[in-house]
């Protein structure tokens, strides 16, 4: 875990672009931990969540907005009995 101060972030904000480990942001005058920054995991959730069934899960080519719209329309159909 890296520990950096606020001034270092102001000088070099590109620290966050290629983050590989946890960073602890500290106020060096007050000696307090202000924040913990974790790297983003960029791997497929299907493979990690599906386990032994990962080959049976069909991958979808829709983007997130289309999926949200489809799920909202299905929920409205069930709630209000509407059909489109």
pTM: 0.45
pLDDT digits (tens, 9 = 90+) for 41-79: 666 666 666 667 667 766 777 788 888 898 899 888 888
pLDDT of residue 12: 86
Question: What value does the CA radius of gyration of the chain take, rounded to a whole number of Å?
Answer: 22
**What pLDDT sits at residue 81?**
80
CA–chain centroid gap for 10, Å, is 24
Residue 56 lies in a domain: no
pLDDT, residue 49, reads 66
Q: Could you report the per-residue pLDDT of 8-32, keeping only the tens digit for each?
A: 888 888 888 878 888 999 998 998 9
Q: Give the CA angle between residues 28, 29, 34 to the nearest 5°.
A: 55
In a domain, 67, yes or no: no
Containing structural domain, residue 16 = 2-37
Spatial distance between the Cα atoms of 25 and 36, rounded to a whole number of angstroms: 6
Residue 26 within a domain: yes
Within a domain: 19: yes
Q: How many domains does the chain have?
A: 1
């Amino acid at each position: 875990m890296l520990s950096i101060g606020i001034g270092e972030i102001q000088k070099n904000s590109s620290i966050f672009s290629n983050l590989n480990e946890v960073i602890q942001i500290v106020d060096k005058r007050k000696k307090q931990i202000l924040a913990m920054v974790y790297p983003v995991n960029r791997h497929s959730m299907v493979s990690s969540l599906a386990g032994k069934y990962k080959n049976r899960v069909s991958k979808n080519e829709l983007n997130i907005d289309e999926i949200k719209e489809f799920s909202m329309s299905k929920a409205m159909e069930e709630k209000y009995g509407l059909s489109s």
